[in-house]
Amino acid sequence: MIDIKTELSEFSKKFNTDLATCFPLPDGAEKRVIEAMAYSVMNGGKRLRPYLVCECAGLFGVDYKTAFPAAASLEMLHSYSLIHDDLPAMDNDDLRRGKPTCHKKFDEATAILAGDGLLTYAFEYLSHSLEIAPDVRLTLIQLLSSAAGAFGGMVSGQTLDIYAVPTGSVQADEDIISRLEQMKTGRLLRYACEAGAVLGKASVQERQILISYARKIGQAFQIADDILDREGDQKIVGKTLHKDDSQNKFTFVSYYGIKPAREKAQKLINSAIEEISYFGAKAANLQNLARYIIERNY
Ligand code: GRG
């Protein structure tokens, strides 16, 4: 049995080679923004979201080549969100994936433009992907824009992340944390799995199972991320740590403490693994990925 780290690293090699071809450099001064986009996309992410797209699509027999445009456009959009999140006006970070953030490597204006460029290119690239039938492409574009946007999507989650403050009511605070996580981190992970279902023309029940699996691993992923912020090794994690405490961030970990957070993440992962077993042996990688999400050290 291939372990999930090897599996992910093999997937990443192939995916990175294909992704790099999406960024041809034009002549002229405008090539600076493409260089910044390529720098940020190609700088060593784990590629969890594209892997999820391809693995979920694979449950229904869809091959890598057909799933690639959905996977690549999602990674472009994810990279935009990281560039903008790192900007001084947001999280103000100098380090991402162990390397200088986009605005440190280039400058702030270029980083804003590179984020804008990746966000728009994600949709341009997906909309031109002839491997995918037009009706399926339109559904993917609708789902991706909704997952990324301001109406219950990632932009809303980021807004809560920056502006939400404790209310004093446990119930209301739990609700804020859960909505924040679902929108900021959860919606793109959910899209990754749902895109696989859409590409594979899954039944309503199959699609619901993948959405529920994604919701659970998404929440556990965010908890693991918050634990890493508190307990991780900065050299391995590759970004500045202890920011949640220094910026009084509203997270499950800061609210309840490490132990209950770890227990909650474990429960979510157990449940996700159980749920995805509906697909039998074909779901083994997705089960291993769920385990990896809370065991990872970066
Ligand atoms: C700027 C609209 C806007 C949104 C930013 C993604 C995000 C929202 C903020 C990043 C901060 C953060 C810690 C988010 C939660 C978890 C997360 C998305 C981590 C990064 O994803 P990984 O670990 O990153 O998959 P790699 O580098 O492996 O791709």
Would you list the domain boundaries of the chain?
Answer: 4-295
Query: CB of 56 within 8 A of CB of 196?
Result: yes
What per-residue confidence (pLDDT) applies to 267? 97
Domain at 4-295: CATH code: 1.10.600.10
Instruction: Work out the percent of the chain whose per-residue pLDDT is above 70.
Output: 97
Higher pLDDT, 44 or 80: 80
Query: Average pLDDT in the 97-113 region?
Result: 97
Q: List phi, psi (to 5°) of 95.
A: -130, 135
pLDDT at 16 over 90: yes
Question: Ligand 1: residues whose CB is within 6 Å?
Answer: 45-46, 48, 81-82, 84-85, 97, 154-155, 158, 184-185, 222, 225
Nearest CA to ligand 1 atom 15: 185
Higher pLDDT, 231 or 279: 279
Q: For ligand 1, what atom is nearest to the CA of residue 91? A: 11
What per-residue confidence (pLDDT) applies to 1? 60
| Mutation choice for ligand 1 from 51, 82, 92, CB with most ligand atoms inside 8 A | 82
CA–centroid distance, 28 to ligand 1, in Å, is 32
CA–centroid distance, 182 to ligand 1, in Å, is 13
What per-residue confidence (pLDDT) applies to 266? 95
CA–centroid distance, 154 to ligand 1, in Å, is 10
Nearest CA to ligand 1 atom 26: 45
Q: For ligand 1, what atom is nearest to the CA of residue 155? A: 2
Nearest CA to ligand 1 atom 17: 185
How far apart, in whole angstroms, are the C-alpha atoms of residue 235 and residue 298? Answer: 9
- When pLDDT is cut at 50, 70 and 90, the band that residue 297 belongs to is confident
Q: Residues 43-72: pLDDT tens digits?
A: 989 999 999 999 999 999 999 999 999 999
pLDDT at 296 over 80: no
Cβ neighbours for 240, distance < 8 A, ≥ 6 positions apart: 93, 94, 95, 234
3-state DSSP percent of the chain in helix, strand and coil, to 5: 75, 0, 25
Inter-CA distances, 8 with 70, 75, 206, 249, Å = 17, 15, 24, 30
CA–centroid distance, 78 to ligand 1, in Å, is 7
Query: Average pLDDT in the 83-91 region?
Result: 97
Q: Residues 143-200: pLDDT tens digits?
A: 999 999 999 999 999 999 999 988 888 888 889 999 999 999 999 999 999 999 999 9
Task: Please provide the average confidence, as pLDDT, over all residues in the chain.
Answer: 94
Query: Average pLDDT in the 271-287 region?
Result: 98
Q: For ligand 1, what atom is nearest to the CA of residue 229? A: 13
Q: For ligand 1, what atom is nearest to the CA of residue 75? A: 29
| Mutation choice for ligand 1 from 225, 249, 253, 289, CB with most ligand atoms inside 8 A | 225
CA–centroid distance, 203 to ligand 1, in Å, is 30
CA–centroid distance, 265 to ligand 1, in Å, is 18
Q: For ligand 1, what atom is nearest to the CA of residue 79? A: 29
Nearest CA to ligand 1 atom 24: 45
Q: Residues 210-264: pLDDT tens digits?
A: 999 999 999 999 999 999 888 877 777 777 777 766 666 778 888 888 999 999 9
Q: C-alpha 1: how far from its chain's center?
A: 26
Note the pTM of the prediction, 2 decimals: 0.94
Cβ neighbours for 20, distance < 8 A, ≥ 6 positions apart: 38, 42
CA–centroid distance, 255 to ligand 1, in Å, is 20
Helix/strand number for the chain, H first, E second: 16, 2
What per-residue confidence (pLDDT) applies to 169? 87
| Mutation choice for ligand 1 from 41, 76, 84, 85, CB with most ligand atoms inside 8 A | 85
Instruction: Work out the percent of the chain whose per-residue pLDDT is above 90.
Output: 82
